[in-house]
Structure 1
Amino acid sequence: MSDTTLDVRELPPAERHPKIHSAFDDLESGEALTILNDHDPKPLFYEMQAEVDAFDADNYAVEQRGPAEFAATFPKK
Structure 2
Amino acid sequence: MTRLDVRDIPPVNRHPTIHEKFEELEPGETLTIVNDHEPKPLFYEFQAEVDSFDADSYEVEQVATDEFVARFPKQEV
- Give the structure-1-normalised TM-score: 0.97
Show structure 2 runs of 5+ residues with no match.
none
Show structure 1 runs of 5+ residues with no match.
none
2:11 maps to 1:13: yes
| Shift in Å, 1:60 | 0.1
- Where do 1:37-52 residues align within 5 Å? 37-52=35-50
Number of residue pairs aligned between Structure 1 and Structure 2 = 75
Percent identity reads: 65
| Shift in Å, 1:58 | 0.1
- Where do 1:1-77 residues align within 5 Å? 3-77=1-75
Q: CA RMSD in A?
A: 0.3
| Shift in Å, 1:68 | 0.2
- Give the structure-2-normalised TM-score: 0.97
